[in-house]
Structure 1
Amino acid sequence: MKYFRFFKMFLAWNYEKEEEWLREMSKKGFEFVDTKLLVIYRFRSVEPKDVIYKLDYNPWWTKDGDSYLSFIEECGWTYSYSQLGWNYFKCDADKCLSEELYSSPEDKAKILGRLRKLTTVFTSIEAILLALTIILRILDNEKFSIGFLIMWALIILEFTVINVKLYSAYKKKKKGL
Protein backbone atom coordinates (compact mmCIF):
# COMPACT_ATOMS: atom_id res chain seq x y z
CA MET A 1 0.00 0.00 0.00
CA LYS A 2 1.33 3.39 -1.00
CA TYR A 3 1.32 6.33 1.44
CA PHE A 4 1.56 10.02 0.67
CA ARG A 5 2.25 13.04 2.87
CA PHE A 6 0.87 16.52 2.31
CA PHE A 7 1.71 19.69 4.19
CA LYS A 8 -1.38 21.82 4.75
CA MET A 9 -2.32 24.25 7.49
CA PHE A 10 -5.81 25.20 8.60
CA LEU A 11 -6.76 27.70 11.28
CA ALA A 12 -8.89 26.26 14.07
CA TRP A 13 -11.84 28.55 13.43
CA ASN A 14 -11.90 27.40 9.78
CA TYR A 15 -11.98 23.68 10.51
CA GLU A 16 -14.74 23.24 7.89
CA LYS A 17 -12.18 24.01 5.17
CA GLU A 18 -10.14 21.09 6.46
CA GLU A 19 -13.23 18.86 6.26
CA GLU A 20 -13.84 19.94 2.66
CA TRP A 21 -10.19 19.35 1.73
CA LEU A 22 -10.21 15.84 3.22
CA ARG A 23 -13.37 15.06 1.24
CA GLU A 24 -11.78 16.34 -1.99
CA MET A 25 -8.67 14.24 -1.32
CA SER A 26 -10.90 11.18 -0.88
CA LYS A 27 -12.55 11.87 -4.24
CA LYS A 28 -9.04 11.90 -5.77
CA GLY A 29 -8.20 8.49 -4.29
CA PHE A 30 -6.42 9.50 -1.08
CA GLU A 31 -7.79 8.06 2.17
CA PHE A 32 -6.90 10.08 5.28
CA VAL A 33 -4.78 8.09 7.75
CA ASP A 34 -3.43 10.58 10.29
CA THR A 35 -1.85 13.96 10.84
CA LYS A 36 1.25 15.13 12.66
CA LEU A 37 0.93 18.41 14.55
CA LEU A 38 -2.20 19.12 12.49
CA VAL A 39 -0.14 20.25 9.49
CA ILE A 40 1.39 17.10 7.95
CA TYR A 41 -1.32 14.80 6.63
CA ARG A 42 -0.74 11.18 5.71
CA PHE A 43 -2.95 9.45 3.17
CA ARG A 44 -3.01 6.01 1.60
CA SER A 45 -3.77 5.43 -2.05
CA VAL A 46 -7.23 3.90 -2.58
CA GLU A 47 -9.96 3.83 -5.20
CA PRO A 48 -11.55 7.29 -5.41
CA LYS A 49 -14.82 7.60 -3.52
CA ASP A 50 -16.87 10.28 -1.83
CA VAL A 51 -16.17 10.21 1.91
CA ILE A 52 -17.45 12.95 4.18
CA TYR A 53 -15.14 13.98 7.00
CA LYS A 54 -16.20 15.89 10.09
CA LEU A 55 -14.03 17.27 12.86
CA ASP A 56 -14.96 17.80 16.46
CA TYR A 57 -12.80 19.54 19.03
CA ASN A 58 -13.58 17.56 22.13
CA PRO A 59 -10.46 16.88 24.23
CA TRP A 60 -10.29 13.96 26.65
CA TRP A 61 -11.11 16.09 29.69
CA THR A 62 -14.48 17.10 28.20
CA LYS A 63 -15.51 13.76 26.72
CA ASP A 64 -17.84 11.34 28.37
CA GLY A 65 -15.64 8.44 27.34
CA ASP A 66 -17.30 5.63 25.44
CA SER A 67 -20.72 7.28 25.34
CA TYR A 68 -19.29 10.13 23.23
CA LEU A 69 -18.00 7.73 20.56
CA SER A 70 -21.07 5.49 20.83
CA PHE A 71 -23.41 8.43 20.20
CA ILE A 72 -21.50 9.53 17.10
CA GLU A 73 -21.20 5.98 15.76
CA GLU A 74 -24.96 5.46 16.25
CA CYS A 75 -25.44 8.44 13.94
CA GLY A 76 -23.57 6.55 11.19
CA TRP A 77 -20.09 8.05 11.61
CA THR A 78 -16.86 6.09 11.99
CA TYR A 79 -14.07 7.27 14.26
CA SER A 80 -10.99 7.86 12.13
CA TYR A 81 -8.29 9.61 14.15
CA SER A 82 -7.66 11.93 17.08
CA GLN A 83 -4.89 14.40 17.91
CA LEU A 84 -4.54 17.35 20.29
CA GLY A 85 -8.26 17.23 21.10
CA TRP A 86 -9.39 17.19 17.46
CA ASN A 87 -11.39 14.09 16.58
CA TYR A 88 -11.79 13.04 12.95
CA PHE A 89 -14.89 11.13 11.85
CA LYS A 90 -15.81 9.84 8.42
CA CYS A 91 -18.80 8.44 6.60
CA ASP A 92 -19.29 7.23 3.03
CA ALA A 93 -21.43 9.89 1.35
CA ASP A 94 -23.87 7.34 -0.05
CA LYS A 95 -24.38 5.72 3.39
CA CYS A 96 -24.54 8.76 5.68
CA LEU A 97 -27.78 9.47 7.47
CA SER A 98 -26.77 13.15 7.50
CA GLU A 99 -23.88 15.15 6.07
CA GLU A 100 -23.53 16.89 9.43
CA LEU A 101 -22.13 15.57 12.68
CA TYR A 102 -24.14 18.18 14.59
CA SER A 103 -27.40 19.55 13.24
CA SER A 104 -27.99 22.76 15.18
CA PRO A 105 -25.93 25.97 15.00
CA GLU A 106 -25.59 25.86 18.80
CA ASP A 107 -24.00 22.39 18.70
CA LYS A 108 -21.62 23.46 15.93
CA ALA A 109 -20.70 26.56 17.94
CA LYS A 110 -19.84 24.40 20.96
CA ILE A 111 -16.85 23.02 19.05
CA LEU A 112 -15.32 26.50 18.92
CA GLY A 113 -16.53 27.26 22.44
CA ARG A 114 -14.51 24.34 23.83
CA LEU A 115 -11.44 25.45 21.89
CA ARG A 116 -11.90 29.03 23.08
CA LYS A 117 -11.93 27.89 26.71
CA LEU A 118 -8.58 26.20 26.20
CA THR A 119 -6.99 29.28 24.64
CA THR A 120 -8.39 31.44 27.45
CA VAL A 121 -6.66 29.18 29.97
CA PHE A 122 -3.35 29.43 28.06
CA THR A 123 -3.66 33.22 27.80
CA SER A 124 -4.35 33.49 31.52
CA ILE A 125 -1.42 31.25 32.43
CA GLU A 126 0.92 33.30 30.21
CA ALA A 127 -0.29 36.56 31.78
CA ILE A 128 0.16 35.19 35.32
CA LEU A 129 3.67 33.92 34.50
CA LEU A 130 4.59 37.30 33.05
CA ALA A 131 3.28 39.12 36.12
CA LEU A 132 5.15 36.77 38.47
CA THR A 133 8.36 37.17 36.50
CA ILE A 134 8.08 40.95 36.58
CA ILE A 135 7.34 40.95 40.34
CA LEU A 136 10.30 38.65 41.07
CA ARG A 137 12.63 40.78 38.97
CA ILE A 138 11.48 43.93 40.78
CA LEU A 139 11.95 42.27 44.19
CA ASP A 140 15.46 41.11 43.19
CA ASN A 141 16.31 44.56 41.72
CA GLU A 142 17.06 42.98 38.35
CA LYS A 143 16.82 44.92 35.11
CA PHE A 144 14.45 44.02 32.31
CA SER A 145 15.63 43.45 28.80
CA ILE A 146 13.45 44.87 26.05
CA GLY A 147 13.62 41.53 24.20
CA PHE A 148 12.26 39.73 27.26
CA LEU A 149 9.26 42.05 27.58
CA ILE A 150 8.58 42.00 23.83
CA MET A 151 8.64 38.18 23.79
CA TRP A 152 6.09 37.91 26.60
CA ALA A 153 3.91 40.64 25.11
CA LEU A 154 3.88 38.88 21.73
CA ILE A 155 2.93 35.55 23.28
CA ILE A 156 0.04 37.10 25.19
CA LEU A 157 -1.01 39.09 22.12
CA GLU A 158 -0.96 35.94 20.00
CA PHE A 159 -3.23 34.02 22.36
CA THR A 160 -5.51 37.06 22.69
CA VAL A 161 -5.87 37.42 18.90
CA ILE A 162 -6.59 33.70 18.57
CA ASN A 163 -9.17 33.96 21.33
CA VAL A 164 -10.88 36.94 19.67
CA LYS A 165 -10.97 35.11 16.30
CA LEU A 166 -12.44 32.02 17.97
CA TYR A 167 -15.04 34.13 19.77
CA SER A 168 -16.04 35.83 16.53
CA ALA A 169 -16.34 32.48 14.71
CA TYR A 170 -18.24 31.07 17.70
CA LYS A 171 -20.81 33.88 17.54
CA LYS A 172 -21.26 33.46 13.76
CA LYS A 173 -21.76 29.71 14.12
CA LYS A 174 -24.22 30.16 16.94
CA LYS A 175 -26.32 32.43 14.73
CA GLY A 176 -26.12 29.83 11.95
CA LEU A 177 -24.14 31.99 9.53
Structure 2
Amino acid sequence: MLKFKLYYDKDEEEDWLRTMSLNGWAFKKFFLGFYTFQQCEPGEYSYQIDLLDNWKGDKEEYASFMEEAGIEVIGQWWRWVYLQKKAVDGPFEMYTDVESKIAQYSKIEKFFKVFLAVEIIIFFIELVGTITTGSYIIGIFTVVLAVISFSILKLVLKCKRKIQQFKREEI
Protein backbone atom coordinates (compact mmCIF):
# COMPACT_ATOMS: atom_id res chain seq x y z
CA MET A 1 0.00 0.00 0.00
CA LEU A 2 1.24 3.49 -0.83
CA LYS A 3 0.20 6.53 1.24
CA PHE A 4 1.12 10.18 0.87
CA LYS A 5 1.58 12.36 3.95
CA LEU A 6 3.78 15.30 4.82
CA TYR A 7 5.11 15.49 8.34
CA TYR A 8 7.29 18.13 9.91
CA ASP A 9 6.91 16.69 13.39
CA LYS A 10 8.82 13.47 14.12
CA ASP A 11 6.64 12.63 17.14
CA GLU A 12 3.45 12.81 15.08
CA GLU A 13 5.06 10.79 12.30
CA GLU A 14 6.16 8.09 14.77
CA ASP A 15 2.65 7.97 16.22
CA TRP A 16 1.16 7.57 12.74
CA LEU A 17 3.62 4.77 11.86
CA ARG A 18 2.77 3.06 15.17
CA THR A 19 -0.96 3.33 14.37
CA MET A 20 -0.39 1.89 10.89
CA SER A 21 1.43 -1.05 12.48
CA LEU A 22 -1.39 -1.57 14.98
CA ASN A 23 -3.72 -1.70 11.97
CA GLY A 24 -1.59 -4.40 10.34
CA TRP A 25 0.62 -2.32 8.03
CA ALA A 26 4.42 -2.47 8.29
CA PHE A 27 6.34 0.58 7.06
CA LYS A 28 8.83 -0.40 4.35
CA LYS A 29 9.98 2.67 2.41
CA PHE A 30 9.80 6.47 2.31
CA PHE A 31 10.42 8.96 -0.47
CA LEU A 32 9.25 12.60 -0.63
CA GLY A 33 6.09 12.10 1.41
CA PHE A 34 5.24 8.69 -0.07
CA TYR A 35 5.18 5.87 2.46
CA THR A 36 5.14 2.26 1.31
CA PHE A 37 3.55 -0.32 3.59
CA GLN A 38 3.10 -4.06 3.46
CA GLN A 39 0.70 -6.17 5.49
CA CYS A 40 1.89 -7.55 8.82
CA GLU A 41 0.45 -8.85 12.05
CA PRO A 42 -1.30 -5.98 13.88
CA GLY A 43 1.20 -4.32 16.22
CA GLU A 44 4.11 -6.41 14.94
CA TYR A 45 6.52 -3.46 14.74
CA SER A 46 7.50 -0.36 16.69
CA TYR A 47 9.07 2.66 15.02
CA GLN A 48 11.46 5.46 15.89
CA ILE A 49 12.84 8.26 13.79
CA ASP A 50 16.35 9.50 14.47
CA LEU A 51 18.09 12.67 13.30
CA LEU A 52 21.73 12.05 12.47
CA ASP A 53 24.40 14.60 13.33
CA ASN A 54 25.26 14.87 9.66
CA TRP A 55 24.10 13.13 6.52
CA LYS A 56 27.54 12.16 5.28
CA GLY A 57 28.35 9.83 8.19
CA ASP A 58 29.13 6.14 7.96
CA LYS A 59 25.64 4.80 7.25
CA GLU A 60 26.79 1.19 7.16
CA GLU A 61 28.38 1.46 10.60
CA TYR A 62 25.19 3.06 11.98
CA ALA A 63 23.02 0.34 10.39
CA SER A 64 25.33 -2.38 11.73
CA PHE A 65 25.19 -0.92 15.24
CA MET A 66 21.38 -0.78 15.08
CA GLU A 67 21.16 -4.32 13.70
CA GLU A 68 23.17 -5.61 16.68
CA ALA A 69 20.51 -4.05 18.93
CA GLY A 70 17.72 -5.81 17.01
CA ILE A 71 16.74 -2.66 15.15
CA GLU A 72 16.30 -2.50 11.39
CA VAL A 73 17.10 0.66 9.44
CA ILE A 74 14.14 0.99 7.07
CA GLY A 75 15.49 3.97 5.22
CA GLN A 76 17.05 7.38 5.34
CA TRP A 77 15.87 10.66 3.95
CA TRP A 78 18.62 13.21 4.20
CA ARG A 79 19.52 13.25 7.93
CA TRP A 80 16.33 11.51 9.10
CA VAL A 81 16.58 7.75 9.67
CA TYR A 82 13.55 5.46 9.95
CA LEU A 83 14.00 2.58 12.37
CA GLN A 84 11.89 -0.49 13.02
CA LYS A 85 11.95 -3.09 15.78
CA LYS A 86 9.80 -6.14 16.41
CA ALA A 87 7.33 -5.28 19.17
CA VAL A 88 7.80 -8.70 20.81
CA ASP A 89 11.43 -7.74 21.49
CA GLY A 90 10.27 -5.18 24.05
CA PRO A 91 9.83 -1.42 24.20
CA PHE A 92 11.58 0.66 21.56
CA GLU A 93 12.82 4.04 22.69
CA MET A 94 16.05 5.41 21.26
CA TYR A 95 16.57 8.05 23.92
CA THR A 96 15.66 6.91 27.41
CA ASP A 97 17.50 9.26 29.77
CA VAL A 98 16.71 12.94 30.15
CA GLU A 99 20.09 14.17 28.88
CA SER A 100 19.87 12.23 25.63
CA LYS A 101 16.28 13.42 25.07
CA ILE A 102 17.38 17.04 25.61
CA ALA A 103 20.30 16.52 23.21
CA GLN A 104 18.03 14.97 20.55
CA TYR A 105 15.40 17.72 20.72
CA SER A 106 18.13 20.38 20.79
CA LYS A 107 19.54 18.88 17.59
CA ILE A 108 16.07 18.88 15.99
CA GLU A 109 15.47 22.46 17.13
CA LYS A 110 18.76 23.64 15.58
CA PHE A 111 17.99 21.73 12.39
CA PHE A 112 14.63 23.48 11.98
CA LYS A 113 15.96 26.90 13.03
CA VAL A 114 18.17 26.88 9.93
CA PHE A 115 15.16 26.15 7.71
CA LEU A 116 13.10 28.76 9.53
CA ALA A 117 15.71 31.43 8.87
CA VAL A 118 15.87 30.51 5.18
CA GLU A 119 12.07 30.45 4.86
CA ILE A 120 11.71 33.85 6.54
CA ILE A 121 14.29 35.40 4.22
CA ILE A 122 12.56 33.94 1.16
CA PHE A 123 9.18 35.04 2.55
CA PHE A 124 10.33 38.66 2.82
CA ILE A 125 11.80 38.57 -0.69
CA GLU A 126 8.48 37.23 -2.00
CA LEU A 127 6.55 39.80 0.03
CA VAL A 128 8.56 42.65 -1.50
CA GLY A 129 7.97 41.10 -4.94
CA THR A 130 4.25 40.87 -4.27
CA ILE A 131 4.05 44.48 -3.11
CA THR A 132 6.12 45.89 -5.98
CA THR A 133 4.51 43.89 -8.78
CA GLY A 134 1.01 43.44 -7.39
CA SER A 135 1.06 39.95 -8.88
CA TYR A 136 -1.51 37.52 -7.49
CA ILE A 137 0.66 34.54 -8.35
CA ILE A 138 3.61 35.88 -6.37
CA GLY A 139 1.11 36.73 -3.61
CA ILE A 140 -0.02 33.10 -3.50
CA PHE A 141 3.60 31.95 -3.16
CA THR A 142 4.06 34.52 -0.39
CA VAL A 143 1.09 33.08 1.52
CA VAL A 144 2.41 29.53 1.03
CA LEU A 145 5.82 30.59 2.36
CA ALA A 146 4.15 32.25 5.34
CA VAL A 147 2.28 29.01 6.13
CA ILE A 148 5.49 26.96 5.81
CA SER A 149 7.38 29.45 8.00
CA PHE A 150 4.64 29.33 10.62
CA SER A 151 4.66 25.51 10.59
CA ILE A 152 8.42 25.41 11.09
CA LEU A 153 8.18 28.04 13.85
CA LYS A 154 5.60 25.84 15.58
CA LEU A 155 8.06 22.94 15.49
CA VAL A 156 10.90 25.03 16.89
CA LEU A 157 8.65 26.20 19.73
CA LYS A 158 7.46 22.62 20.36
CA CYS A 159 11.09 21.48 20.64
CA LYS A 160 11.80 24.33 23.08
CA ARG A 161 8.81 23.29 25.22
CA LYS A 162 9.91 19.64 25.20
CA ILE A 163 13.45 20.62 26.20
CA GLN A 164 12.09 22.76 29.05
CA GLN A 165 9.84 19.89 30.14
CA PHE A 166 12.78 17.46 30.16
CA LYS A 167 14.89 19.95 32.12
CA ARG A 168 12.14 20.21 34.76
CA GLU A 169 12.07 16.38 34.97
CA GLU A 170 15.83 16.37 35.41
CA ILE A 171 15.67 18.48 38.57
TM-score, scaled to structure 1 = 0.66
* Alpha-carbon displacement from aligned partner over 1:112-164 (angstroms, at most 9, x marks no partner): 32222122223334555678x69xx9xxxxx8357779939837952444422
- Give the count of matched residue pairs: 163
Residue 11 of structure 2 corresponds to residue 16 of structure 1: yes
Which of structures 1 and 2 has the bigger CA Rg?
Answer: 1
TM superposition outliers: structure 1 runs of 4+ over 6 Å: 146-150
Once residues 113 and 156 of structure 1 are traced to their aligned partners in structure 2, the CA distance between those partners, rounded to angstroms, is 21
Name the CA shift for 1:104/1:71 in 2 (closer, same or farther; >3 Å): farther
Letter in 1 for 2:16: W
What displacement does 1:31 show? 1.4
Which segments of 5 or more consecutive residues in structure 2 lack a partner in the other structure? none
2:27 equivalent in structure 1: 32
Aligned-residue identity in percent: 25
Within a 5 Å distance, the mapping from 1:29-68 to structure 2 comes to: 29-38=24-33, 40-58=34-52, 60-61=54-55, 63=57, 65-68=59-62
**CA-based RMSD:** 3.7
Name the CA shift for 1:155/1:59 in 2 (closer, same or farther; >3 Å): farther
* Alpha-carbon displacement from aligned partner over 1:26-47 (angstroms, at most 9, x marks no partner): 2332111123334x32211234
Which segments of 5 or more consecutive residues in structure 1 lack a partner in the other structure? 138-142
Name the CA shift for 1:156/1:55 in 2 (closer, same or farther; >3 Å): closer
Conserved? CA contact 2:112–2:156, under 8 Å: yes
TM-score, scaled to structure 2 = 0.68
SS in 1 for 2:50: strand
Within a 5 Å distance, the mapping from 1:98-177 to structure 2 comes to: 98-126=91-119, 144-145=132-133, 151=142, 154=146, 157-158=149-150, 159-176=152-169
